[in-house]
Amino acid sequence: MKKVGFGIIGAGMIARFHAQSMASLENVKLIGFFDTSLSAAVKCAEEFNCKAFSTFEEFLADSEIEAVTIATPSGFHHLSVIPAAKAKKHILCEKPLEITTEKCDELIACCRQNKVYLIPVFQTRFYPAIQKVQQAAKQGRFGKMLFASVRMHWYREQSYYDSSSWRGTWAVDGGGALMNQAIHHIDQLLWIAGDATSVSALSATRTHQIEVEDNLAALVQFKSGATGTIEVSTSCKPGFPRRLEFTGDCGSAVIEEDNIVRWVFDQTYPEDEAILSDLRAKNENAAGGSDPRNIKADGHALQIADLAKAIRSGHAPMLDAEEGRRTVEFICGVYNSVRTGKSHIF
Ligand SMILES: NC(=O)c1ccc[n+]([C@@H]2O[C@H](COP(=O)([O-])OP(=O)(O)OC[C@H]3O[C@@H](n4cnc5c(N)ncnc54)[C@H](O)[C@@H]3O)[C@@H](O)[C@H]2O)c1
């Protein structure tokens, strides 16, 4: 089957993970990069042996490019998604899809109108530990879900925020530890525990010279009746594994980074032993707890391969744009609670 031609928009830190992923895939061919900084595009093109486009128009007009990945600063995603959709390119867009629900709606409507896929990147959702816990929730193994919580005690140097002018700004990063770093864990929380009905939150900027929060805590009420807590930070030295906890009246599971560290259910299943032995002690996926570059490209590769398969076979991709929107809506609700000092009702 003919390989799907991809172009990458934005040639910064995460774009290299996209390019590495593409190089590892048989059904994908990387055609080239576009970046508003031509020198950034040229550097990546030389590294990955492909084209550097000097204008966006030229990039979009290249008929070999059937799909694009978007790796530009978060609040600029719409500047790439809308023209790419109008040029009939399928799109895999970095998280967050955009930084407001209104912008997400605009992108979703434009992609629908132009009949192209729009998929948000949530690469860590596909790691086996997360998949197994979500499956257990779907099977009802927790019984009545009581608590569903996220703890991300991470660390970022000031130099991380200083490395690009958009980082740590409301206008383009859209928020701090919650919108930028913890968004993956929020996506997983909502995927496993279901939608929230309300949230109350407090936040602060404690250890960095930035506009947005580097510490935030929230109390969540889920539709299911469960409650949850969220603690996220980029101030905690030296940075610890992220933790997701789900406790019900019939069972409980805890994930640390990509390992299952608790898996206890009233009703045992034949695969439980294998789940515990495979996912307990392994720590193959390095944590982003203290270094944003300390992630692997395998999750991105899975999502890029999935989009390529969807383009060729028409099967539904693993994630859709609504899931990207849902997480942004939740995060904006948390920020609204911080601003008003009241619970935000969804
Ligand atoms: N999935 C993950 O785990 C993960 C990790 C890191 C970053 N991200 C996301 O990836 C995106 C980029 O982050 P980064 O750390 O790579 O940023 P970065 O600052 O390193 O790179 C961004 C690049 O985009 C270019 N750019 C800016 N506006 C552009 C435009 N309109 N068109 C084309 N190029 C443009 C810049 O010149 C720069 O080279 C953000 O949305 C971020 O949240 C995701």
Q: Are residues 222 and 243 in the same domain?
A: yes
Integer angstrom CA distances of residue 233 from 100, 182, 207, 227, 331: 21, 9, 10, 20, 15
Question: 111-163 pLDDT, tens per residue?
Answer: 999 999 999 999 999 889 999 999 999 999 999 999 999 999 999 999 999 99
Q: Are residues 68 and 162 in the same domain?
A: no
CB 24 within 8 Å of CB 297: yes
Mean pLDDT over 49-63 rounds to 98
Q: Are residues 102 and 197 in the same domain?
A: no
Paired strand residues for 298? none
Q: How confident is the model at residue 284, as a pLDDT?
A: 45
Q: Which domain holds residue 251?
A: 125-290
Banded model confidence at residue 95, pLDDT cuts 50, 70, 90: very high
Percent of all residues in the chain with a pLDDT value above 90, rounded to a whole number: 89
pTM: 0.95
Q: Are residues 108 and 95 in the same domain?
A: yes
Distance between CA atoms of residues 176 and 181, nearest Å: 7
Q: Are residues 236 and 140 in the same domain?
A: yes
Mutate to test the pocket of ligand 1, among 8, 9, 13, 77 (most ligand atoms within 8 A of CB): 13
Integer angstrom CA distances of residue 214 from 150, 175, 206, 261, 290: 16, 9, 7, 27, 14
* 171 or 258, higher pLDDT: 171
Mutate to test the pocket of ligand 1, among 94, 97, 122, 185 (most ligand atoms within 8 A of CB): 94
The reply to whether 64 falls in a domain is yes
Domain count, the chain: 2
Mean pLDDT over 289-297 rounds to 69
The reply to whether 283 falls in a domain is yes
Tell me the CATH number at 202: 3.30.360.10
Q: Are residues 129 and 278 in the same domain?
A: yes
CB 293 near ligand 1, within 6 Å: no
CB 328 within 8 Å of CB 99: yes
Integer angstrom CA distances of residue 298 from 28, 160, 195, 321: 14, 23, 28, 21
The reply to whether 339 falls in a domain is no
Q: How confident is the model at residue 122, as a pLDDT?
A: 96
Q: Are residues 134 and 283 in the same domain?
A: yes
Mean pLDDT computed over every residue of the chain: 94
Banded model confidence at residue 227, pLDDT cuts 50, 70, 90: very high
Question: 258-292 pLDDT, tens per residue?
Answer: 889 999 999 999 989 888 887 775 544 445 666 77
The reply to whether 329 falls in a domain is no
Mean pLDDT over 157-171 rounds to 97
Tell me the CATH number at 29: 3.40.50.720
Question: 321-337 pLDDT, tens per residue?
Answer: 999 999 999 999 999 99
Q: Are residues 137 and 278 in the same domain?
A: yes
For the CA of 163, the nearest atom of ligand 1: 19
Mutate to test the pocket of ligand 1, among 18, 35, 285 (most ligand atoms within 8 A of CB): 35
Q: Give the Å distance between the CA of 94 and the centre of ligand 1.
A: 8
CB 40 near ligand 1, within 6 Å: yes
Q: Angle, to 10 degrees, between the axis of helix 101-113 and the axis of helix 77-86?
A: 10
Q: Is the pLDDT of residue 81 over 50?
A: yes
* 8 or 291, higher pLDDT: 8
Q: Are residues 63 and 177 in the same domain?
A: no
The reply to whether 247 falls in a domain is yes
Q: Are residues 237 and 264 in the same domain?
A: yes
Q: Are residues 260 and 303 in the same domain?
A: no
